[in-house]
Amino acid sequence: MNWGTKYPREFTTRLKESVQKHLSIPHKFYCYTDNPVEDYDVPVKYPYLRGVWHKLALLENKGDSLFFDQDIEINSNIDFLCEDFDKFSVIDSTPWKPKNIPLLEFRMTQNTLVNSSVMRWSDHEHIFKKFMRHRDMYLRLYAGIDRYIYNEKVDYHAISTPKITSWYQKIEKTPIVLYNGKYK
């Protein structure tokens, strides 16, 4: 997904090449974007949505699917992700989340323990439909989709694996490194 001007095209190209190199399972690569230029680009379907909220619209697509944010680094084989497509899966972010956030502050700020830099699903359109039904309220309450997923009782599965890490953890060259929050 590449919406707006935050990530130059090079990010998309680099992600495509990385996936091609490190995912040996046959797949097709698409980029959901408001600026379609390549043959693998798919125009956004809901132009009034902004930024990360377009990621939720991807759940309308049925079939075994993986999603990657553009600010990730793929260093080695990621075939391990191609299982359990029957669940809607996101990443467990507890390994890099600060441990000392007071509970009231955590709940007041609608904080989250999941990260959607990588998502996996096959038939989970209902999650997007729920969001769209009361879109205005969710946009008001949540700063992003991770908070929406965590706080709105979405039936998600949190992938917990040492193969996916965040740059906050300062662990180099795991198969996937997330640079979540690095590019503002």
Partner 1 sequence: MIYDQNIINAYKNIEWIAKTHPGRLLDAFSCFSQNQFDCKMWLIDCLNQYPFHFKYKTRDSIDIAILGGWYGLMAKLISTEFGLKPINNIYSYDFDNIATKIGKKIFPEIEFIEKDVTEIDLGRKNFSIVINTSCEHIDQSLLYKSIDTAPTNTLFVLQSNNMNYVQQHINCVDSLQMFEKQYESRLHKVRAYELHKEKYTRYMLIGVKR
Binding site for partner 1 (CB under 8 A): 48-51, 53, 104, 107-110, 134-137, 139-141, 151
Report the candidate in 86, 73, 174 with the shortest Cα–Cα distance to residue 118. Answer: 73
Q: How far is the CB of 144 from partner 1 (least distance, A)?
A: 11
Residue 19 or 52 with smaller CB distance to partner 1: 52
Q: 94 or 109: whose CB is closer to partner 1?
A: 109
Contact 31, 97 (CB under 8 A): no
AA letter at 72: I
CB closer to partner 1, 19 vs 139: 139
Cβ(90)–Cβ(148) below 8 Å: no
62 or 134, CB closer to partner 1? 134
Query: Where are the alpha helices (H) located in 62-160, listed in sequence order?
Result: 103-108, 125-133, 135-141, 145-151
Least distance in Å: CB of 106 to partner 1? Answer: 9
**Least distance from C-beta 45 to partner 1, angstroms?**
15
Tally of CA atoms within 13 A in the half-sphere of 110 that contains its CB: 16
Decide: 159 and 66 in contact? Cβ < 8 Å: no
Centre a 10 Å sphere on the Cβ of residue 91 and count the other Cβ atoms it contains.
26
Q: Least separation, in Å, of the C-beta of 125 and partner 1?
A: 21
Least separation, in Å, of the C-beta of 8 and partner 1?
Answer: 22
Nearer to partner 1 (CB atom), residue 37 or residue 141: 141
